[in-house]
Structure 1
Amino acid sequence: MPLPRPEYPRPHFDRSHTWLSLNGTWDFRADPGGRHAADQADGYDQRITVPFAWETPASGIAAHWLETAWYRRTFTVPADWTGQRVVLHFGAVHHAATVWVNGTEVARHEGGYTPFSADVTDALGEAEQLLTVRVHAPADKRHIAHGKQRSMPRDDYDGVCFTPSSGIWQSVWLEARPATHLAALRLRPTDDLTGITAEATVRGPHTATAVLRLRVRGESTTARLEIGPDGRATGELPLAAPRLWSPEDPHLYHVDAELTSADGSDRVTCYTGLRSITVDGEALYLNGERLFVRGVLDQGYWPGTGITAPDDAALRRDLRLAAAAGYNLVRKHLKLEDPRFVHHADTLGMLLWTEPASPGRFSDASTAAFAEQIDAMVERDGNSPAIVIWGLYNEEWGLDWDIPGDAAKQRAVVDAYDRLKALDSTRPAVDNSGWTHVRTDLLDWHYYDESAASWATTIADLLDGRRDDFPVRLGPDYLVHKKLAVPGQPLRGLPNLNSEYGGGFTALERAWHLRWQTQEMRRHDRLAGYVYTELYDIEHESAGLLDFHRGAKDLAGVDPAHVNAPTTLVLDVTPVAPGRDLLTAEREFSLSVRVSHHGAEPVTGLLHTAWTPVYGATPEGTGEAVPGCRAEAKPYTLGAPVTVPAALPEGWTSGRLHLALVTDGTVVARTALDVDTRTEPYIGDDPLARVAAH
């Protein structure tokens, strides 16, 4: 049987020249009453495949609501590791793990999303070693960090939660290193993006006399860092011809570190990219150039394997699928994902919004459990150039949906924000995504609405400053109005993002809302970006552009890549319903069209049109040019309206009008409009929509 997840698990701190994977088949025993002991040799009556959670079919167990279980396997230390310290690593174990080697306890860890390790050298015996792990994953997860894993008793947000993933769910491996070793290497671009700032941490008995050398691979840059009495060392690595990291050119600089001491030589490779992400007023800038976030939500679940990707290629594939749909950012939702996901984003040039898992209730214990993830998140993933936004809380989950009414919950948010910014001030941070903000760098909000008309009105009112709240439906008959921020948190002068949106029950309806809601946001120059919910379906949640297996869905001819393109067309229409965007009693009508352009240079071109039946796919080619209909736009400024005359083909009562902006024979933007001459109301028509034919 092939080794599951055989790739090296930690590419941001790479010691892959001296490692051994412990993934694969382990002995397993369920312990429903929590009565077994570590030294009990009997009862291991099942076999489990690591690193897949015990609820999953991929694990071979598929046990649900089991709270405690034991893992066991043997391993042999490679002969060429003699004289080295042997370190056991766990990528992530949900939720509380106790680890023994040959009966000696070597580690205890709580936190289902954060890595941990233990030097097990002193517990090793001769030849074969016995590794035992006890895992407790409480059914009641409300006071621990669990993200979208379902809790019993349930969370307030149970309706959007999924099957738990308990036990070992990321890779387990061994590494060899000297007693005096490199414990961390933080890499950040210099402020002027001409080099790399390095901050190293050295641990071990001969730290004081150790020598640390860094070399930028493929460059002439080297440095010797002086190690202080606290084991810290800092320095800069200037680059003769700096090459910036960007989505268009995701260039990475690998730094080889060698620590030499009386204990021997320790070698580690880390990497980063030269890029800046800054906030200036209400705009975001990447490397000094305006950035409009076109994001999509990704919750990190897979059929049959839960929160563990089935293989490394699946992580890369999800990023490619997001890019193919026109997105430039993925928001990994309420989950510290496998670090190889971050690595693939670095190499592919996909921007990331990263955030920890949430608890379900507010208490001292849950607040502490949430905060403990922050340090691990920044330490593990902070070198990544792809991560441009750090998230913290989400929609007041773990805060009992009551930030405005409770000063203690506001303090918890501020403390989390301050903790994060003290660790990393180079990226903007969101304190409480989507709902009431307390202290934040980005003013984001989550707005869902099934009415195209009220969607347009609310978005306009928020972005024009006419209102500072928005409606949130917490139940079929329970509507609340969420304030954007508590007093003291500015509502102006920060980038605005609609970081969750989408509507519709069927794939057809969702595609319609995707097209029109996204277009409506592109109408507003003040907006800094959006994040669509979501990339793929999960279990009972059918909100994805793709199904759970990442297969295509019937989007009724809508291509998300056209919707999310840097240049799009904005129609001055408030649509009525899917298949009936515009109702007109006459075959001939006219349409007002604008250009929204998020590029470095202005864009101009001729508008072209073509007709297909309603829900028809985009025709090949450019269509027919509309005489005199030249449209243009400056960067990040909505273009002036252009009136486009059109007429349904003879004999048609309805049809889809495809519009394209063509520059030098190339289509740079596309959209479509479904036109119907049968103007009587249909079931499902938006009663607030207006007829916009001229």
Structure 2
Amino acid sequence: MTLSPTDSVVTAPRATPDQPRPEYPRPDLDRSSRWLNLNGVWDFDAADAAPSITVPFAWETTASGVNRTWLEHAVYRRSVTVPEDWAGARVVLTFGAVHHHAVVRIDGSPVGEHTGGYESFEFDVTAHLVPGIASELSVEVHAPADKRAVPHGKQRSIPRDDYDGVSFTPTSGIWQTVWLEARGRTYARTVSLRGDSLTGFDLVVDTTGEAPAGAVVRARIRETGESVDLRADSEGRAVGRLEVAAPRLWSPAAPHLYRVEVAVGDGEHADTLIATAGLRRIETRGEQLVLNGERFSIRGVLDQGYWPETGLTAPDEAALRGEIALARGLGYNLVRKHLKFEEPLWLHEADVAGMLVWAEPPCPSRFSAEAAEAFEAQLPAMVERDGNHPSIVIWGLYNEEWGLDWDIPGSPERAAAAEHAYETLRALDATRPIVENSGWSHVRTDLVDWHYYEPDLAEWKRAVAAMADGSQDGFSVRLGPDFIVDKSFYASDAVPRTGVPIVNSEYGEGFTSLERAWHLRWETQELRRHDRFAGYVYTEFADVEHEAAGLLTTDRRAKDWGGCVPADVNAETVLILDLVPLRAGADIEPPREPFALTVHVSHHGPLPVDVRVQAAWLSAGAPVDGASARAARGRPDAVGAELRVEPFVVSDGVELTVSASPVAARLLVWATDASGAVVARAFLDAAEVEAPNRRGARQA
């Protein structure tokens, strides 16, 4: 069966003021039959702060009730009572994430501690809790203001670092769900399911508890009943293969998920959970990305995962799940979750919906042996928690040499750190492409990706063409108001110039929402003009605090896109218009004579498509998907010849002779397939371009 977004062992409860985020947080590793949510109001002990806090919201957020920035130390406390019917079970306390160092105690006795602000972690607290009897749980948190050697992603630091202009309010303390689970006396600590063979799952179960050595482990696919029995080795690890007789693959078009029941032991105190996974293979073949044996192209958007009143924590389950549908509605097939381990609930939603994911850890901001070690220390937890998700098709590592002082080419030590991080992640997971340093200065990578921001569309068009044909492999980057450097795709001559997929993984320009939508239209079409590129990632999905670069506002509402329909820009089939536009809202001056417009078609579907390109004038500003546009399609002003468009081969140009329009107007351009259905759509705005006013300028 294909899972729906609402599939769960139990119905998700509704949030209340006393218990926000009440849903079970691990639908991908489900033990929700016996769990206790610890979100809600906790006592809070910190200097000059409120005496209570609402978990799981960071203490900097208004949702937490504390709203304090640059608080570096606090203690959380609350009473917990394990249900009496958990007697005989192992009890495990789990934290979704705590920034940055947590010391956990029960009734004053140390339970454990954890360093790392984004990873999930857990402690077996069976010896500390008695079913039916209340105990005090305390969590002491240290969150340094100086985060330079700490993986912190987009969180602001003191001292203020080089990235402060693109950083946001910090996220400190408990910022994801906290919960207790009842597990078997011997239980599965981790479950790894990899479906890259496309015919079954490679299974690894690490057991712990009372008797992990020699533990009997049984895995069974709930839908089909296919199963395998394993026995753990002396270290408690069970390794095996779960074959699927009639495999159904996971893909964006058909995101089939399997539910795999994993049981450890037998009888009353056995441990049981349900893991979800998919059969899919992502690989590179030369300069192509290939999913399940078929070429595909990334049409992605960068998402930083911040919300206006709750920071890095989603305000509720609906908001978190809704992110995936919003990205799909904008036409994207991939989300690059930027410098953040997103919640498993979001990743599960991506699995269910068929949204591809580029996942990456947060970076530190200054290079040192300590910082590099802390950065790599996150990777095992990232792969352990998130590696089963078929939606994750790319692992990222460093971003733009953050934590490497922007100097991989000039520092063998920093270059070695990037390469070592690649090797470390490759040893943990060899099933996905890895980008060791997103943006430029690659030393060892499975994708050559590049970040390029250029406001001049003529220069954008020229540079993109040059980077596609290999005559240019570098560009200038403004790293600060008075700091411009030249960056190359490659950090050394040892990095191959061909034979590796090339992806633009950050682009976008414009000051107003109208300008940004205009740049989205024209910049994206130039990326689609060159099928050497394996895709793109637009920056960005939603605004964050002072950074107003999103297609959506901070609360995920659509902006004024000036008639642009992002889903048209990011469609499987798009139109490429041969001109350089003049201004946002005025792509061309109103033509007083008929003119020739050359149109190409880019198609990224699996099969060829036969299309006919047409055009018609609409009134200025008319919606391209409105009633007047539908009427215009019945009486086109210009009709081109029919042509066949092959997958991943930009078509020859089709020349349309467009009639004059002496007044401001909008030219709708569209392509229909053999059935007459519209498969691609674009437009040109014709309006007067006023010369800029410079009367107030002072002469030197």
User: Per the shorter chain, which TM-score range?
Assistant: over 0.9
1:167 and 1:91 map into 2 onto residues whose CA distance is 11
Count, aligned residues: 669
Q: 2:282 aligns with which of 273, 277, 281?
A: 277
Q: Which amino acid aligns with 2:264?
A: L
Tell me the residue number matched to 1:527.
Answer: 533
Equivalent in the alignment of 1:411: 416
Could you tell me how far 1:627 is from its partner in structure 2? 3.8
1:269–1:262 CA distance, 2 compared to 1 (3 A): closer
Q: Helix, strand or coil: the match of 2:525?
A: helix
Equivalent residues in 2 for 1:19-30, closer than 5 Å: 19-30=35-46
Q: Structure 2 matches for 1:319-334, cutoff 5 A?
A: 319-334=324-339
- Verify: 1:673 aligned to 2:689, yes or no: no
Partner of 2:449: 444
> Does the alignment pair 1:396 with 2:406?
no
Q: Distance in 2 between matches of 1:411 and 1:262?
A: 51
Question: In 2, Cα distance between the equivalents of 1:521 and 1:133?
Answer: 49
Q: Does 1:536 align with 2:542?
A: yes
Tell me the CA shift for residue 616 of structure 1.
Answer: 3.1
1:423 aligned residue (422, 428, 433): 428
Q: What corresponds to 1:470 in structure 2?
A: 475
Shift of the 190–486 alpha-carbon distance from structure 1 to 2, 3 Å rule, reads: closer
Query: Could you tell me whether the CA contact under 8 Å between 2:185 and 2:271 is conserved in 1?
Result: no
- Using the TM superposition, give the Cα deviation of residue 140 of structure 1 relative to its aligned residue in structure 2, in angstroms: 1.0
Note closer, same or farther for the CA distance 1:469–1:190 as it changes in structure 2 (3 Å cut). closer
- Using the TM superposition, give the Cα deviation of residue 240 of structure 1 relative to its aligned residue in structure 2, in angstroms: 1.9
1:314 to 315, 319, 323: 319
Find the residue that maps to 1:153 and give its secondary structure: coil
Answer yes or no: is 1:603 the counterpart of 2:609: yes
Letter in 2 for 1:24: G
For residue 31 of structure 1, report the CA deviation from its aligned partner: 3.5
- The CA distance in 1 between the partners of 2:50 and 2:668, in whole Å, is 62
Task: Name the CA distance, whole Å, in 2 between partners of 1:333 and 1:234.
Answer: 33
Task: For structure 1, list consecutive stretches of 5 or more residues without a partner in the other structure.
Answer: 33-43, 685-694
Aligned to 1:560: 566
Are the equivalent residues in 2 in contact too, given 1:515–1:563 (CA < 8 A)? Answer: yes
Letter in 1 for 2:678: V
Are 2:159 and 1:159 equivalent residues in the alignment?
no
Residue type at the aligned position of 1:311: D
SS in 2 for 1:414: helix
User: Shift in Å at residue 299 of structure 1?
Assistant: 0.2
Q: Residues 45, 357 of structure 1: CA spacing in aligned structure 2 closer, same or farther, 3 A cutoff?
A: closer
1:298-323 Cα offsets, whole Å, 9 max, x none, are 00000100000001111111111110
Aligned to 1:14: 30
Counterparts of 2:640 and 2:164, CA distance in 1? 55
- Give the AA of the match of 2:635: E
CA contact (8 A) 1:609 1:623 kept: no
What's 2:190 paired with? Answer: 184
Moved more, 249-258 or 82-91: 82-91
Shift of residue 679, structure 1, vs aligned partner: 6.9
Please report how far the alpha carbon of residue 329 of structure 1 lies from its aligned counterpart in structure 2 after TM superposition.
Answer: 0.1
1:432 equivalent in alignment to 2:434 = no
**Partners of 1:632 and 1:640 within 8 A in 2:** no
Looking at structure 2, the residues matched to 30 and 207 of structure 1 have their Cα atoms a distance apart, in angstroms, of 41
CA distance in 2, matches of 1:277, 1:190: 8
Q: Call closer, same or farther: CA 1:628–1:9 in 2, change over 3 Å.
A: closer
Are 2:655 and 1:658 equivalent residues in the alignment?
no
SS in 2 for 1:645: strand
For the 8 Å contact 1:602–1:635, the answer to whether it is kept is yes
Task: Tell me the equivalent position of 1:38.
Answer: none
TM-score by length of 2: 0.93
What is the aligned partner in structure 2 of residue 640 from structure 1? Answer: 652
SS at match of 1:113: coil
- Aligned-partner Cα distance in 1 for 2:324–2:399: 22
> Are the counterparts in 1 of residues 101 and 143 from structure 2 also a CA contact under 8 Å?
yes
SS of corresponding position for 1:540: coil
| RMSD after superposition | 1.7
Change (3 A) 1:554 1:680: closer
**Contact kept in structure 2, 1:97 and 1:136, CA below 8 Å:** yes
Q: 1:304 aligns with which of 298, 303, 309?
A: 309
Aligned equivalents of 2:164, 2:260: Cα separation in 1: 44
Q: Which residue in 2 is equivalent to 1:594?
A: 600
Asked if 2 retains the 8 angstrom alpha-carbon contact of 1:102 and 1:124, the reply is no
Q: Specify every segment of 5 or more residues in structure 2 that has no aligned partner in the other structure, as ranges.
A: 1-16, 695-700
Give the Å deviation of 1:680: 7.1
What is the SS of the residue equivalent to 1:520? helix
Which residue does 2:143 correspond to in 1?
Answer: 137
Distance 2:689 2:80 in 1: 74
What's the offset of the Cα at 1:479? 2.3
CA distance in 1 between counterparts of 2:522 and 2:186 reads 59
- Separation in structure 2 between the aligned mates of residue 107 and residue 466 of structure 1, nearest angstrom: 56
| Aligned mates of 2:619, 2:408 — CA distance in 1 | 50
Q: Return the letter of the residue paired with 1:358.
A: C
User: For the Cα contact (< 8 Å) 1:27–1:45, is it kept in 2?
Assistant: no
Distance in 1 of aligned mates of 2:599 and 2:406: 41
Alignment partner, residue 4 of structure 2: none
**Larger deviation, residues 364-373 vs 615-624:** 615-624
Shift of 1:233: 1.4
Shift of residue 384 of structure 1?
0.3
Determine helix, strand or coil for the equivalent of 2:373.
helix
Residues 1:460 and 2:465 aligned together: yes
User: In structure 1, the residue corresponding to 2:520 is in which secondary structure?
Assistant: helix
Offset at residue 124 of structure 1 (A) = 2.8
1:67-106 superposed matches below 5 A: 67-106=72-111
Deviation at 1:630, TM superposition (A): 2.5
Selected match of 1:235 from 240, 244, 252: 240
Q: What is the CA distance between 1:577 and its match in structure 2? A: 1.4
Instruction: Name the amino acid aligned to 1:653.
Output: V
The answer to whether residue 269 in structure 2 is matched with residue 264 in structure 1 is: yes
Find the aligned partners of 2:336 and 2:468 in 1 and give their Cα distance. Answer: 22
Q: Deviations over 1:535-570 (max 9, x none)?
A: 111111100101111111111000000000000000
Percent identical:
53
1:35 matched to which residue of 2?
Answer: none
Q: Structure 2: which amino acid aligns with 1:151?
A: S
Change (3 A) 1:360 1:628: closer
Q: Mean Cα displacement is larger for which, 324-333 or 194-203? A: 194-203
Match of 2:6 in 1: none
1:691 is aligned to none
Instruction: Quote the residue 1:4 is aligned against.
Output: 20
Counterpart position of 1:336 = 341
Find the aligned partners of 2:280 and 2:509 in 1 and give their Cα distance: 35
Q: Matched residue of 2:33: which SS? A: helix
Q: Please show how residues 46-85 of structure 1 align to structure 2 within 5 Å.
A: 46-85=51-90
1:342-353 aligned within 5 A: 342-353=347-358
In 2: Cα distance, 1:576 partner to 1:627 partner: 25
Q: Which has the higher mean CA deviation after the structures are superposed, 252-261 or 601-610?
A: 601-610
Question: Could you tell me whether the CA contact under 8 Å between 1:498 and 1:529 is conserved in 2?
Answer: yes
Within the candidate set 635, 658, 669, 1:624 is matched to: 635
Q: Is the 2:214–2:236 Cα contact (8 Å) retained in structure 1?
A: no
Q: Which amino acid aligns with 1:644?
A: L
Deviation at 1:682, TM superposition (A): 4.8
> Shift of residue 582 of structure 1?
2.5
Letter of the 2:39 partner, please give it.
Answer: N
Distance 1:209 1:606, change over 3 A: closer
Q: Which residue of 2 aligns with 1:122?
A: 127
Residues 145 and 63 from structure 1, CA distance in 2 versus in 1: closer, same or farther, beyond 3 angstroms?
Answer: same
Q: Matches of 1:566 and 1:394 in 2, distance apart?
A: 28
Q: 1:646 to 1:134 in 2, by over 3 A?
A: same
* Paired AA for residue 29 in structure 2: F
**How far does residue 187 in structure 1 lie from its aligned partner after superposition?**
0.2
Shift in Å, 1:139: 1.0
